[in-house]
Structure 1
Amino acid sequence: MFRLFLLSSALCLASCAAETASAPENTSADAIPDAPAPGFVATATKTANSDLAKRLPLSDQQDFEDASRGFIAAISAPAILDDAGNPVWEIAQYDFVTGAAPDTVNPSLWRQGELVAKHGLFEVAPGLYQVRGYDLSVMTVIEGKTGWIVIDPLTNVETGRAALQLVNDTLGERPVSALLYTHSHADHFGGARGVLPNGAGNVPVIAPQHFSEEAVSENVIAGNHMTRRSTMMFGSTLPRSATGHVSSGLGPGLPRGNVSLILPTEELGKGITKKTIDGIRFEFMDMAGTEAPSEFIFFLPDLKALHTAEVATGTFHNVLTLRGAKSRDALAWSKGIDDMLSAYGAKSDVVLASHHWPKWGTDRVQGFLKSQRDVYRYVHDATIRAANGGAGMVEAAETLKEPEFLSRDFNARGYYGTMNHNSKAVYQHYFGWWSGVPADYHKLPAEQSAAKYVAAMGGSDAVLRTGIKAYESGDFRWAAEVLNHLVFAAQGGQTAKDWLAATYEQMGYQAESGAWRSYFLTGAQELRVGLVARNVANPGSADVLRSVPTRTLLDAMAVRFDGTKVSNSAKSINFVFTDTKENFSVEVNRSTALARPGLADDPAVTLTLTRTAFDKLIGRQAQFGDLQKAGEIKLRGSAVAIGEYLTALDTPELWFNIVEP
C-alpha cells in the first residue's frame, strides 16, 4: 500500500535500434501510412538537437575535470546485489553514454548523462569524500575523530552498504560515528540500514527540523498515484540505451532494492546551528520550504567546504515534480540560495551537494550559487509578471525565454526541471490549477471530450491524417494533442497509438530534461506494447511503515475506504495502542472513515493492540484472525463492524493506464 515515489527497475525491453528503423512509406494517395518504426529520428528532431548543440559550449571540459577530480577507486564487481543475489545496480549500465551524442538524444542531456555516470570514490578535500554514480543521489563521507560521518546514505540499503564498503575497503575500515540526513526525500535516507544495519544505537542520527514527519508523510496518502507516475518519470521500464533511458538528469537513475529508515536522534531547529560532530565543526543553515519541506545545508569551516544538499545542484530542479507532489515555493527557494551565498559564498573554497560533482575555487562557488539563485528567481518573477498582465498558466509559460546566462552555464540548465514546467508550477502555487477561463473550470473528462472532438473533426481517419500531417511537418506538440484525442476516444486502433507513440518518441529525443525524456519514451512504450507491470520493486519497508504517525496512517487508510461497502448505520471503531499509548477512534459511515484522537463514548467495537500488530495487519504480513488467536489483538464489541471496515479498504492497482483510457 505504501509505495514511495522512488520505485525503480532496470528492466530492459527489446527495442528496435535506430539503425534499423525506417520512415513510413505511402502505398497510395488514400492509404493511411504506417507509423515510423521505433528508433526513427525525424528531420525536425535532428535539426532541433543540432541547433542546440551549436548554441551551447559543449566542448567546455571544466565539468568533466571536476567530475573526475580526486578519483580514488571504483566498485570492481559487475553489479551491486541484494541479499538474494539479485542485481540492484548494474555497474556498467550507463557505459554507453560516451562520445558524440546520437541523433536520438538531446546533446546537452547526453553530456549531462556522461557526467553523472562517472562512478567511484572521490576525494573532495583532505578527509572529505564522496561516493557517486551508484544511485540517483550521492553519499558524502567525512573522516571524523573516531569514525566516518556519513551524509545521505543513498536510496536503498544495498547501494548504501556498497558505497560504505567501497570507502572502508579503500581508505581503511572505520565505524560510522554519525549519520546525517540533509532532507526528507527517500533517496537521501533510504540506505540508512546499509550503513547502520543494527539501527542507531549510540550513533547520533541528525536531521533538519520536522524530518520525521515529512519523510514519511509526503507520499503516504497519495503514494499509489505518485508511484505510478514516477515509473514514467524515472524510466523504470525503459532499456538503458541511446533510444531509451540515458540519464535522470539529477543523477544516473534509481536503483532497485529495499528502502529503510532510521529515525533521527536529533532534529535541528531554525536558523543557523553550530555543532561539533566527532571532532568536526559544522554550521547548519535551515532551508525548510525550499527544495524539500525539511532540509538543511551545512558549512565546514575547517575545510572551507559548503554542502548545499539538494537546494543547489548541477541542474535546474523541479518546482513541481512530474510524479506529483505539493508545488514548491520558487521565491523562497531563490531567497534560501541567496542566504547561503551571503553567509558562506566568500568563505568557501569548494561547494558540493547531494547530487552531481563539486566545484572548486571561491569565485566558482559564488558563480554557481548566483546562477542557481537567479534561475529560480527568474522563473518566479517572469511567470508572475506575465500572469499579472493577464496570461493564463499555459500562456505565461510560453512567454518565458531562456535567460542569457544559461547559454554558458550548464549548472542551471533544465536537466531535471524545465523552464516551461516550472513556470506552470509557479502559476499553480499562486493561482491554482485553472487558467481563469470559464470554459476551463468544468471541462468534460478526456474520454468524453475526445469522442466529441473526433466527431467534430470529421471522424477518426480525418483526425489521424491531421495528426500525421503535423508529425511530418515537425509540429510534434500539435500532433500529440490531435492524436491523443483519437486514442482517448478509443478510435483509430493500434495505428493511432503507433502514431502517437512515434510523436512522443520525437519529443523524448529532443528533451533536455531526463525526466521529460523518460516520461515521453515510457508513454511511447506503453502505447506500443502495453503496460510493463513487472520487475518494479516495492520499497515500503517495515522501517518506513513503523515510522508513519498513527494519525497519518489512519488518514491514508481513509482514502482507500469505500463507504458503499458498509451498512447504513454510522458507527465508531476505537483503537487502543498499548505500546505507543495512543487512542484513536474512526467514525465510519457510508461516505467517510474519519479518524480523530481519543476514544468514542459508544463504539461499535474496541480493538486493543500494539502498533506493531496494527502494522502487520495493514502491511498484510498477518491476518486479523491469526493476530487475534495469538493474543496480539483483543476485540470487544461487534466483529462485524471491524470486518466491514477492513473489507471496505480498497487496494489500488499500481499499473493503471495513463497514456490511454
Structure 2
Amino acid sequence: MPIKKKLINQLIFFLISLFTIIVCDLFKCSFALGSEIINQNDKSSKEPSKHTIALYEKYRKELPFADKRDYEEAKRGFIAAPKFKQVRSDKGHLIWDMESYSFLLNHKQYPSIHPSLQRQAELNMAYGLYEVIPKKIYQVRGFDISNITFIKSKTGWIVFDPLISSEMSKLALNLVNQNLGTFPIKAVIYSHSHGDHFGGIHGIVSEEDVNSGKIQIIAPKGFMEEAISENVYAGNAMNRRLYYQYGILLPRNPYGHVDQAIGKNLSTGTMGLIPPTVSIKKDYETMEIDGVKMIFQNTPGTEAPSEMNTYFPDMKAFWAAENITSTIHNIYTLRGALVRDALKWSKHINDSLYHFGKNSEVMFSSHSWPRWGNERIQEVMRAQRDTYANLNNSVLHLANKGVTINEIHNIYKLPTILQKQWAAHSYHGSEGHNSRAVINRYLGYWDSNPATLIPLSPNESAPLYVEMMGGSEKIIAKAIKLNDEGKYMHSIEILNKLVFAEPNHQRAKELLADVFEQIGYQKESTSLRNSFLAGAYELRHGIPKGNTPKSFGPKMVSAMSTELWLDYIGIRLGLNLPENIHFSINLFTPDNGEKFAIEFSNATLTNIKGFHAEKPDLAVTINRSDLENVMLYKTNLKSLEKERKVKIKGNRKVFEQLISMITEFNSSYEILPGTS
C-alpha cells in the first residue's frame, strides 16, 4: 500500500476508534447498564442486626406513616397495564424488568430495608398508563426510571421526555395507542439534558419527520452542549462509580437493589438523540402548538445545567421536570458530576410557586406521581423549596462558625417540621453527602487543617495505622466488639485501614463487608444504600461482570462538538509522555467553517478554536459531515479518497506519534483493594 494511503488509513482508523471509545464511555457511564441481574439469590447476604432493627422501630414511630396521600396519588387515574413485565432486545438481552421487583408487592415489611425507603420503593411500582387530566394529559409510568408524558393537542400528541431507550418509548406509545386511539405526534419536549429524558426519541418519531418540520423538538437553552459534555471528560471513572450509586449489578431482592428513588431502575436498550429544532432562550417563553398553550420556565443550574419547567395555563397544570419530584435530589451526585447549587434550586422552585403554583390544580413531573389540588401542590412546592434553602443556609451558617467539610455531615440535620413531610425526604440524595456538597461548592474540599492538605494515599497511610494499632488480630478483635455494640462507623474506620494495608486479608474484607451491609440496610437514601451494598458485594465476590450493551445512537456522535472531541483526546493521552516532542496540527472542516490549532508541547495536548498555527507540522482538511459518515460506517475511506474529500499536508509521522500516546481506559479498576 502506498505510504500516503497507509497514513490516511491510520488517521481515519484513529478517528473512528477514538470517537467510538468516547461514545461508548459516555453512555456506559450514564446508561449502558448490566442487562442481566447477577446472583439474584446471593446467599452471602446477612440478616439485619438487632441494632438495625431497633433503628427501624425508631423510624416507624417518628415518621408520618399515617399520611397515605402519596399512595392515593400514585394509583389515581390508572387506565391499563401491559401484559408483559420484562422486555428483551432483538439479541435477547434484558432491557427492562419490573418482574424482578415483585417482592415489593407482597405487603410485607422487610427487616433489611429502611421502612421509609420501602414505602418509596412500593410507590415506584406503578406500572402502566395513567390519566392526569381527563382527555388532556396522560403518563406511562414504570417503563423506565423516568415517565413519558402525552399531552392531547387539537390533532395529535405533544410528548414530554421519551425515556432512555427507543424500545421502551415505542412500547409506551403502543400502550397509549391501544387505549386512547392512534394520533400523530406533533411535538416533543426535552425537559433537560440527562439521557433518561431524550434517549428514547427514535422509538416515537423519525428523523425525517423532524428534519422536514412535521414534528418540532423543543428544549431549553444550552441543551445540546450539556447533553453531550457532562459525562465525557471523566466518563470512565463515572462508569465505575455508577455501579456503586445505582447498584446496577446488585441482586434485586430485599437484601440488594430495591429502588432508585425517582424510579425503579434504568432501561438498557438503544439510546439516541435527535437535536432540538427550537431552543427556549428566555427565562419565561410562551408558545402554542396545535392548540396547546405552554409557558416555558428556564431553570438552569438546578437538577441539570440545562432544564426547564412548563405551565399549561388553559389546564392549570404545572410540569415540574425533575426539579420537583417525590424526593430531595442530589446536590452532589455520587457517580460524579459538577456540584449543584442548592440555593439556586430553591429560588427556581420559589419562582415556580409564585408564577404558577398558586393557580395550578395539578403538578406532574418526569419522575414519580402527580399531585392534585392547589393546597397539596403548594404544600409540596414549599417543602422542597424550603429543604434546599435550609440545606444551603444552615450548612453555610455552620461553616461560618468553623464546622468543616469533614464534620458537617455528622452535625447538619433537617428541621423536624420538614422531617415530618414525605416530600422533604432524601431518597435520591442524602443530608450527609448533600451537606458536604454545599461546603465543597463554596469552600472546596480542604478543611483548612494543614495536616489534611497533602494527605498520604490510603495504601501509604494504612500500614502505619495497622502497625500503631498493634496489628491485624487486634484490629479484628476490636472491630468485632464494635460491631456487637452497633458502632458500625467506628468499625469501618479501623477495618478500612486494615483492608488497605493488607488487601488479601480475607477475614478483614468479610468483616468490612458485613459492616457495609448493615449501614446500607439502615439508609433511607438509595444512593447510600446501593453504595454500601455494592461495596459489600465487591469485598465478598470481587468486581462483578455483566453485559453492558452499548446503547448509543448515531446522532449522539454528530452532536459532539469538535472542540469537545479534541479536549477528550488530550485526556486520553498517557502519562510520562515524551517531553522533547513538539508538533502542531491545523484542522479545518470547511462545511461548518470551523478551524483549530492543535499543539503538543510540554507533554500536553491543547487546542484552540478559530485559529491556525502559522507553520504547522501537519494540516488536515475534511468536512465534518464526511468525518461523521466515516465514524458511523455510512461510507468508507476508498470512497472519500476517490471523491478527494480528505486533504493531508505535511509531516505524516505526527499522526503516528499522536496515536502511540493514546491509552485505553479500563472501567474495572479497583475501588476497594483486593477485589479485582
TM-score (norm 2): 0.91
- Asked if the contact 1:307/1:351 (under 8 Å) is kept, the reply is yes
Residue aligning to 1:419? 431
Aligned residue among 100, 112, 121 for 1:104: 112
Q: Does residue 505 of structure 1 match 2:517?
A: yes
Shift of 1:60: 3.0
Shift of 1:531: 0.9
RMSD: 2.1
Residue aligning to 1:230? 242
- Asked if the contact 1:564/1:590 (under 8 Å) is kept, the reply is no
Aligned residue among 641, 651, 661 for 1:638: 651
- Asked if the contact 1:80/1:91 (under 8 Å) is kept, the reply is no
Q: Distance in 1 between matches of 2:434 and 2:530?
A: 17
Shift of 1:631: 5.8
Structure 1 residues 137 and 194: alpha-carbon distance in aligned structure 2, compared to 1, 3 A threshold = same
Residue aligning to 1:39? 46
Q: Distance in 2 between matches of 1:629 and 1:456?
A: 72
Aligned residue among 341, 345, 356 for 1:333: 345
- Asked if the contact 2:380/2:423 (under 8 Å) is kept, the reply is yes
Matched residue count: 643
Name the amino acid aligned to 1:278.
Answer: D
The 3-state SS of whatever aligns with 2:272 is: coil
- Asked if the contact 1:233/1:516 (under 8 Å) is kept, the reply is yes
Aligned residue among 104, 125, 128 for 2:133: 125
Residue aligning to 1:90? 97
Aligned residue among 274, 296, 310 for 1:262: 274
Aligned residue among 563, 584, 596 for 1:584: 596
Residue aligning to 1:453? 465
Shift of 1:263: 0.8
- Asked if the contact 1:467/1:479 (under 8 Å) is kept, the reply is yes
The range that moved more, 438-447 or 650-659, is: 650-659
> Any residues of structure 2 matched to 1:295-310 within 5 Å, and which?
295-310=307-322
- Asked if the contact 1:81/1:89 (under 8 Å) is kept, the reply is yes
Note the alpha carbon deviations across 1:207-239, whole angstroms, 9 max, x for none. 111111111111111111112111221111111
Name the amino acid aligned to 1:43.
Answer: K
Note the alpha carbon deviations across 1:149-190, whole angstroms, 9 max, x for none. 000111112222221221112211112110001111111111
The 3-state SS of whatever aligns with 1:97 is: helix
> Any residues of structure 2 matched to 1:332-351 within 5 Å, and which?
332-351=344-363
Shift of 1:590: 4.8
Residue aligning to 2:76? 69
The 3-state SS of whatever aligns with 2:569 is: helix
Shift of 1:561: 1.2
Q: Does residue 608 of structure 1 match 2:617?
A: no
> Any residues of structure 2 matched to 1:472-621 within 5 Å, and which?
472-491=484-503, 493-562=505-574, 564-565=576-577, 568-597=580-609, 598-612=611-625, 614-615=627-628
TM-score (norm 1): 0.93
Q: Distance in 2 between matches of 1:405 and 1:88?
A: 41
> Any residues of structure 2 matched to 1:147-546 within 5 Å, and which?
147-198=156-207, 200-201=210-211, 202=213, 203-491=215-503, 493-546=505-558
Q: Distance in 1 between matches of 2:239 and 2:504?
A: 30
- Asked if the contact 1:7/1:230 (under 8 Å) is kept, the reply is no
- Asked if the contact 2:387/2:424 (under 8 Å) is kept, the reply is yes
Name the amino acid aligned to 1:207.
Answer: A
Name the amino acid aligned to 2:32.
Answer: L
Structure 1 residues 634 and 563: alpha-carbon distance in aligned structure 2, compared to 1, 3 A threshold = farther
Note the alpha carbon deviations across 1:352-373, whole angstroms, 9 max, x for none. 1111000100000000000000
The 3-state SS of whatever aligns with 1:394 is: coil
The 3-state SS of whatever aligns with 1:288 is: coil
Name the amino acid aligned to 1:610.
Answer: N
Q: Distance in 2 between matches of 1:569 and 1:128?
A: 62
Note the alpha carbon deviations across 1:433-485, whole angstroms, 9 max, x for none. 11111111100111111121111111122222222222221111121221111
The range that moved more, 396-405 or 413-422, is: 396-405
Q: Distance in 1 between matches of 2:60 and 2:309?
A: 34
The 3-state SS of whatever aligns with 1:72 is: strand
- Asked if the contact 2:36/2:94 (under 8 Å) is kept, the reply is no
Q: Distance in 1 between matches of 2:632 and 2:410?
A: 45
Name the amino acid aligned to 1:519.
Answer: S
The range that moved more, 621-630 or 71-80, is: 621-630
Q: Distance in 1 between matches of 2:664 and 2:94?
A: 29
Shift of 1:268: 0.7
The 3-state SS of whatever aligns with 1:113 is: helix
The 3-state SS of whatever aligns with 1:434 is: coil
Q: Does residue 652 of structure 1 match 2:674?
A: no
Structure 1 residues 589 and 240: alpha-carbon distance in aligned structure 2, compared to 1, 3 A threshold = same
Aligned residue among 142, 145, 150 for 1:136: 145
Q: Distance in 1 between matches of 2:517 and 2:629?
A: 43
Name the amino acid aligned to 1:54.
Answer: K
Shift of 1:408: 2.7
Q: Distance in 1 between matches of 2:323 and 2:71?
A: 22
Q: Distance in 2 between matches of 1:312 and 1:548?
A: 29
Aligned residue among 108, 116, 122 for 1:114: 122
Q: Distance in 2 between matches of 1:434 and 1:624?
A: 52
Q: Distance in 2 between matches of 1:197 and 1:113?
A: 35
- Asked if the contact 1:80/1:162 (under 8 Å) is kept, the reply is no
Shift of 1:16: 5.5
- Asked if the contact 1:461/1:492 (under 8 Å) is kept, the reply is no
- Which 4+ runs in 1 deviate beyond 6 A? 616-630
Residue aligning to 2:14? none
Residue aligning to 2:3? none
Q: Distance in 1 between matches of 2:141 and 2:639?
A: 46
- Asked if the contact 1:298/1:308 (under 8 Å) is kept, the reply is yes
Name the amino acid aligned to 1:136.
Answer: I
Structure 1 residues 419 and 629: alpha-carbon distance in aligned structure 2, compared to 1, 3 A threshold = farther
- Asked if the contact 2:516/2:536 (under 8 Å) is kept, the reply is yes
Aligned residue among 58, 71, 76 for 2:65: 58
